[in-house]
Amino acid sequence: MNFIIKSIATVFGIGYFPLAPGTISSLFCLVFFWFAPEFPVHLWVIVIVVLFFLGVWVSTEAEKIWNLSDPSFIVIDEFVGQLITIFAFQKKISVVVGAFILFRFFDVIKCGPMRYSEKLRNGWGVMMDDVIAGMIGHVILRCILFLV
């Protein structure tokens, strides 16, 4: 069971990359999105909700296994946050690049509610800051595309 938990928490080993594993996980998410079938929005929402709760659980268990709080190699949170930013958009290079930049920006600066949410216990704290960054990135990207 530990192997499964570690595999999901690290997004199948991406979290072990020596440099910027969260960024690599975000990029992998965008590749996943690009090649995923065209789902209706409500199915993307279901996928995101399932991945979120799975992420909370595996992050909590992975922290226990490694005896560390939010280690950098747990990257399921970046994957889910990036997916929140990009879902329900068209598959265009400009949109994908914009979603990547916005999500990574907000994930790195961790302003306001993102910083507070990191203080939540266990996997909730691991996941929530990236979920909030993903939601903010999604809304801003939608506004930019509306204005352009």
What is the pLDDT averaged over residues 36-62?
97
pLDDT at residue number 118: 83
pLDDT at residue number 111: 85
The total number of structural domains in the chain stands at 1
Best CA proximity match to 79, nearest among 120, 127, 119: 127
Q: How far apart are CA 25 and CA 104, in angstroms?
A: 11
pTM over 0.75: yes
pLDDT at residue number 48: 98
Residues 6+ apart with CB under 8 A from 144: 98
What is the pLDDT averaged over residues 124-135?
97
* pLDDT per position as a tens digit, 71-123: 999 999 999 999 999 999 999 999 999 999 999 999 999 888 888 888 899 99
Domain that holds residue 113: 2-147
pLDDT at residue number 27: 98
Q: How far apart are CA 129 and CA 118, in angstroms?
A: 6
Question: Is 22 in contact with 78 (CB distance < 8 Å)?
Answer: yes
Structure tokens at 41: 């929005």
Torsion (CA) 83, 85, 87, 90 in degrees, nearest 10: -130
pLDDT at residue number 115: 84
What is the pLDDT averaged over residues 60-76?
95
What is the pLDDT averaged over residues 58-67?
96
Q: How far apart are CA 41 and CA 62, in angstroms?
A: 30
